[in-house]
Every structure is written in C-alpha cells, then in structure tokens.
C-alpha cells in the first residue's frame, strides 16, 4: 500500500505500484525515492509516517508539517539543521538532502518534509507502561542516565540544547541502547538567541511536569535540559508522573519516599539536576557524568542503598507513685500565731487556704492570657487566611503554566482542569476552581472563587501574544479586598496583562 500525504485527500490509500494518488492526483513517490507505507502518529502541527527508501532499501521516518505558521516552519527547519549537524548513534541520522518541500496536486502551499533514520523500539513512556508502570532499578537508571547525558554532552558541545526532554522523547532500541529524538524545539546558543532572550522574545517551549520555570518564561539554557532529565528519571524510578509528587503550596517535589530502592547519593544527584535555580544545578554534562561514575564505583565496591534505620520501640516505663522524703513533710509550727495555728490545725481550712492562694496566683495569669489572646487573635486569623490564599495563588499559577504548555502542544487552550493533568481538584475546602476558554486560539480565564468570607479571590489569564511566534503571556489578578467574586477577565495591553478595577496584579 502507498499512502498519499495530502492533508485533505478523500482516500489516501493506494496500490504500491502507481505513481499518483487515485483520489487526488498527488505524487506518491516523494523526491523520486520515498514511498509512504503507514502512518505512525500525528499531532496539532504535523504527522509522522513510515516510508521505504528505494535507494537504500531501508525503512525511514517521514515527518510532515501541516501547520503553516512561520514559527512552526522555523522549528521544523531547525530540527533538520540540528540533526544534520549532530552525528551520534544516540541521535536519529538525517542525510544532507533529508529536508525538502512537497506540493500536493493543485496546491499553492508546500508541505515541509523531513526524512530521518527510523529508531526501532519503544519510547520510555510506552516502555514503562508495558512493564505495568513498575519502576526501573538503580543499576539500569545509572546506565540509562549515563547514556542520555553523554548524548546531551554532544548536543551541548555543538552549542545546542534540546528544550523538550521527557519520556516520550527517549527511545529504547531493541538492542538496549537509548536514543534522544524530537529535536524540533532545539535551540542554538548564539548571540542572537541571547539578545532575544534578554528582551523576552524567545518562544517558551513547555511540557507540563518536565519544564523548569526559567524555560516557561522564555529563558531556557543548557541546564534546563538537566532539570527535564531529572524529572524524567523521577518518572522512571517511581512509575508515576512527576506532577503526582508536586506540592504546589510549598513548591516541593516529594518523590524520594517513593524510590527507596535507590541510594541517597543517586537521589541527591537527581535533586541537584532538578534544583529550582539554574546556578544550583550541575553546570555541564561532565559534572553529571563524574557523579554517575562515583555512584557506579560505590555500587561495584558493594555499597547498597541505605534503608531507613528502624528506631527500636522502647516500652513505656511503669508509673511510680512519688513519696516525698521525710525531710519534706510538714513540721510542727511552734512559733505560729493563734490564727495561723488554728488554720493549720484544720484539714478543711488548709484546703480552703490553698485554694484561695492558688486562685490568687492563677487569676492574674488568666487575665494576661486573655489580653495576649485578644491582641494576637486578629494576627493569627490573618496568617491563617494568607495560608489559605496561598493555595489559590499557587493553583492558579500552575494552571496558567499548564495552559501555556497545552496550547503549545495542541494549538488551542484546554477547557477543563482535568486535561491539564495537574491533579488539582475543582473544589477544595476554601476555593472553587474553574476554566473559561474565551477563545480556544486566543485567550483563557482561570478562576479561584473563595468559599468563605475573609478570603480574596483570583483570576488567572493566558493570552496568545503572537500567533506567528506561538508566544503566550500569563498573569494572575487578586481582589484588593476579601471577596467571593473573582476579578473579571484582565486585558492584554501592549504586551502586559492589565488587571480590572478592584483587583491587582500578583506580578507587582
């Protein structure tokens, strides 16, 4: 069978011994050598096919761009450039003539095509699913991480960085070797890039759960690849998406308790790779490779991952009845006044005196406690409300970033919280969360509506700032006073989000 790649072909399936599509008349033998055999996948920007190369008699991969945005074309051409320059067994090979344009029958717009080596195997996301989401062990993880970092070292040495490392973009070949794929978002570190980065004109490439904050803001660097790679191995070592362990309130990824089969040394390395600040991450691939060599050496010397030491449970001691020593017992008062002697000689009176004295001592403390409470209570309630509001701020911020990622991957905004895959519930004890798509390709509103009085409400917004560049801008507005009504949709004015009356921007 020979497939026609024209996007709107009514019947793309054809016999494999003809040159033109029977349904639309488009050529079937591309560049005089490639015949499309089957479709491998597709997304918002293009499709991927398996093709047979008549010259080499091999099966290759054909990527076809079906999105005409100039930025999409630029990213596509960049992938061809990067792959042609990088010669490494862990990177798909592309011939110098692997990139070409194809005009379907009666079409004035070309399809941009890229033919590359077909990496046989499974991507790591599918691989883990085939294992029933069973985590890999440390030996395999160290070996795999060493392989991928070695590939990244080659990429970084050529002044490129990948920008989209995640399990689906790492292939496991049938022989056990790994390959890094999908270089469509790779960037060259050039003077032009640095200049654009400084003024915020760099496209933010986002994959939810794997992209560091600096990349979300269009400030990606080579160390951004290390962050994404660390998150990838959290997935491989736990069998769960990193977002499952993310605490948005405290901005912490609590994953280590779910990977107790690895050594603290290895876990520390992954945490360093995923550090919030770029300066706290390993500065180059060589640093990571050296750490991995040390971990590997420790394993060969017989070191095993330390398990938490169980603290022995000490049985509670038996209560002991206290007997005061003889010297502490009350002695006769020979020099007491008649009144004191009378009171002292009566057990009931002794009790009353003790009660009076006790109350006299205790009541001032009660008054002081009530006074302090009256002063501190408003401050305490204010702090409690701030903690509750922190949830809303964090959730709206996370939803903003996830919508940016969703738009980049799907060329539209998501209409549901569930699609964002953040694990955020639409209803919590203090807030109701919702998504309102104003225009699937232009803007989306996200709200946090306070359920109780005393709390502020919030509105997040994401706008498409430049459709040609796929640039999005996000922001959050907070009511200036406690309110159970979220702010109205803000406006995008000269590239900045302007909050409506009665609210203020959290970016102040």
The residue among 74, 102, 117 that closes a domain is 117
Q: What is the CATH number of the domain that holds 152?
A: 1.10.510.10
| Per-residue tokens: 490 | 């803000």
Assess whether 164 carries a catalytic annotation. Answer: yes
Residues 52, 129 within the same domain: no
Backbone angles phi, psi at 211, to 5 degrees: -95, 130
Position 274 in a domain: yes
The answer on 205 and 83 residing in a single domain is no
- Which residue carries 């990527």 as its tokens? 63
**Does 436 fall in a domain?**
yes
What secondary structure letter does DSSP report for 23?
T
User: Which pair of structure tokens corresponds to residue 56?
Assistant: 């080499």
pLDDT in tens, 132-165: 999 999 999 999 999 999 999 988 887 788 888 9
Q: Is residue 242 part of a domain?
A: yes
301 in any annotated domain: no
Q: Are the beta carbons of 29 and 12 closer than 8 angstroms?
A: no
> CA dihedral in degrees (492, 495, 501, 504; nearest 10)?
130
Q: Which domain holds residue 94?
A: 2-117
- Positive or negative, the Cα torsion across 407, 411, 414, 420? negative
List the one residue out of 446, 454, 447, 486 whose CA is nearest residue 386. Answer: 454
Which of 355, 334, 356 is CA-nearest to residue 345?
Answer: 334
In whole angstroms, what is the distance from residue 229 CA to residue 428 CA? 32
- At residue 372 the predicted structure's pLDDT band, cuts being 50, 70 and 90, is low
Residues 82 and 137 in one domain: no
Q: Tell me if 81 sits within 8 A of 186, measured CB to CB.
A: no
What is the rounded distance in angstroms from the CA atom of residue 360 to the CA atom of residue 265? 60
Tell whether 130 is covered by a domain.
Answer: yes
- Tell whether the torsion through CA atoms of 208, 213, 216 and 220 is positive or negative: negative
Residue 293 is assigned to a structural domain of this protein: no
The side-by-side arrangement of strands in the sheet containing 29-30 is 29-30, 34-42, 46-53, 58-65, 111-117, 99-102
Give pLDDT, residue 184.
Answer: 59
Same domain, 14 and 96: yes
Least Cα distance to 415 among 435, 434, 432 occurs for 435
What pLDDT is stored for residue 254 in this prediction? 93
Residue 460: φ, ψ to 5°: -100, 155
What is the pLDDT, as a whole number, of residue 325? 37
Q: How confident is the model at residue 111 (pLDDT cuts 50, 70, 90)?
A: very high
Q: How much is the average pLDDT of 330-346? A: 37
Would 452 be classed as within a structural domain? yes
Identify the active-site residue in 123, 164, 182, 225. 164
Strand 34-42 and strand 170-173: pairing? unpaired
Q: Are residues 267 and 134 located together in one domain of the fold?
A: yes
pLDDT digits (tens, 9 = 90+) for 374-410: 555 556 567 788 888 988 988 898 888 888 878 877 7
Which two structure tokens, joined as six digits, stand for 275?
């550090």
Do 166 and 223 fall within a single domain?
yes
CATH of the domain at 65: 3.30.200.20
Q: Are residues 31 and 159 in the same domain?
A: no
Rounded Cα gap, residues 208 and 283, in angstroms: 23
| Residue ranges in 411-465 assigned as alpha helix (H) | none
For residue 282, CA distances in Å to 112, 147, 219 come to 37, 17, 17
**Could you tell me if 395 and 471 lie in one domain?**
yes
User: pLDDT above 90 covers what percent of the chain?
Assistant: 46
Q: Check whether residue 258 and residue 233 sit in a common domain.
A: yes
- Nearest C-alpha neighbor of 102 from the set 93, 111, 92, 91: 111
Q: Give the Cα separation of 294 and 300 in Å (integer).
A: 10
Residue 163: per-residue pLDDT: 80
> Final residue of a domain: which of 94, 117, 140?
117
DSSP class of residue 164? -
Strands (E), 201-355: 246-247, 252-253
Which tokens sit at 195? 């200049």
Q: What is the pLDDT of residue 390?
A: 84
Output DSSP code: residue 458. E
CA distance to 119, 479, 485, 489, 490, per residue, from 505 (Å): 48, 9, 16, 12, 10
pLDDT level of residue 35 (50, 70, 90 thresholds): very high
Residue 303: CA count within 13 A, CB half-sphere: 15
DSSP 8-class letter at 212? -
Residues 113 and 196 in one domain: no
Q: Which residue has the tokens 């760099």?
A: 202
| Look-up of token digits 């010397």 | 301
Helix (H, G, I), strand (E, B) or coil at 438: strand
Same domain, 251 and 177: yes
Residue 10: strand, helix, or coil = coil
Chain-centre distance for alpha carbon 120: 28
CATH classification at residue 423: 3.30.700
Q: Tell me the pLDDT tens digit for each residue of 234-282.
A: 999 999 999 889 887 777 899 999 999 999 999 999 999 999 999 999 9
Residue 111, SS3 per DSSP: strand
Q: How far, in Å, CA of 476 to CA of 458, rounded?
A: 7
Tally of domains within the chain: 3
Cα separation, 98 vs 53, whole angstroms: 11
The answer to whether position 409 is within a domain reads yes
Domain boundary among 283, 309, 343: 283
Residues 219 and 103 in one domain: no
Give dist(CA 499, CA 508) in Å, integer.
11
Give pLDDT tens digits for 479-495: 999 999 999 999 988 77
pLDDT digits (tens, 9 = 90+) for 45-79: 688 999 999 999 999 999 998 877 787 788 788 77
What gap in Å lies between CA 292 and CA 89, rounded to an integer?
21
């Amino acid at each position: 069978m020979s497939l026609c790649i024209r996007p709107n072909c009514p019947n793309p399936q054809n016999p494999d011994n003809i040159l033109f599509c029977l349904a639309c008349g488009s050529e079937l033998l591309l560049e005089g050598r490639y015949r499309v055999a089957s479709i491998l996948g597709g997304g918002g920007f293009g499709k991927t096919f398996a093709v047979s190369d008549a010259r080499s008699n091999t099966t290759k991969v054909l990527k076809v761009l079906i999105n005409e945005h100039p930025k999409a074309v630029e990213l596509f051409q960049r992938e061809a450039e990067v792959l042609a320059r990088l010669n490494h067994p862990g990177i798909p090979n592309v011939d110098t003539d692997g990139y070409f344009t194809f005009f379907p029958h009666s079409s004035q717009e070309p399809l941009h095509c890229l033919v590359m080596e077909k990496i046989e195997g499974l991507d790591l996301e599918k691989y883990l699913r085939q294992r029933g989401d069973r985590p890999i062990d440390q030996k395999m993880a160290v070996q795999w991480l060493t392989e991928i970092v070695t590939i990244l070292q080659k990429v970084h040495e050529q002044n490129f960085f990948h920008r989209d490392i995640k399990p689906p973009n790492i292939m496991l070949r049938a022989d056990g070797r790994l390959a890094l794929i999908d270089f469509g978002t790779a960037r060259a570190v050039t003077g032009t890039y640095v200049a654009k980065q400084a003024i915020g004109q760099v496209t933010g490439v986002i994959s939810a759960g794997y992209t560091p904050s600096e990349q979300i803001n269009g400030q990606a660097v080579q160390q951004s690849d290390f962050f994404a790679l660390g998150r990838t191995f959290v997935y491989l070592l736990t069998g769960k998406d990193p977002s499952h362990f993310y605490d948005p309130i405290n901005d912490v990824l609590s994953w280590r308790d779910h990977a107790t089969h690895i050594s603290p040394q290895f876990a520390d390395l992954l945490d360093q790779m995923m550090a919030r600040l770029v300066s706290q991450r390993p500065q180059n691939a060589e640093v990571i490779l050296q750490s991995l060599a040390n971990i590997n050496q420790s394993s060969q010397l017989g070191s095993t991952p330390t398990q938490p030491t169980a603290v022995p449970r000490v049985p509670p001691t038996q209560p002991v009845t206290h007997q005061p020593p003889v010297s502490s017992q009350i002695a006769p008062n020979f020099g007491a006044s008649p009144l004191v002697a009378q009171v002292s000689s009566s057990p009931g009176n002794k009790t009353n005196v003790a009660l009076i004295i006790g109350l006299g001592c205790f009541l001032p403390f009660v008054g002081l406690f009530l006074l302090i409470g009256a002063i501190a209570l408003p401050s305490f309630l204010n702090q409690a409300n701030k903690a509750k509001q922190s949830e809303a701020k964090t959730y709206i911020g996370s939803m903003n970033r996830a919508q940016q990622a969703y738009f980049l991957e799907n060329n539209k905004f998501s209409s549901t919280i569930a699609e964002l895959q953040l694990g955020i519930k639409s209803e919590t004890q203090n807030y109701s969360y919702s998504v309102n798509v104003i225009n699937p390709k232009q803007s989306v509103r996200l709200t946090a509506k306070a359920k109780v009085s005393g709390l502020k409400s919030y509105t997040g917004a994401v706008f498409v700032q430049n459709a040609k560049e796929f640039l999005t801008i996000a922001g959050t507005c907070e009511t200036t006073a406690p309110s159970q009504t979220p702010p109205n949709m803000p406006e995008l004015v000269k590239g900045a989000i302007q909050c409506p009356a009665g609210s203020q921007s959290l970016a102040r």
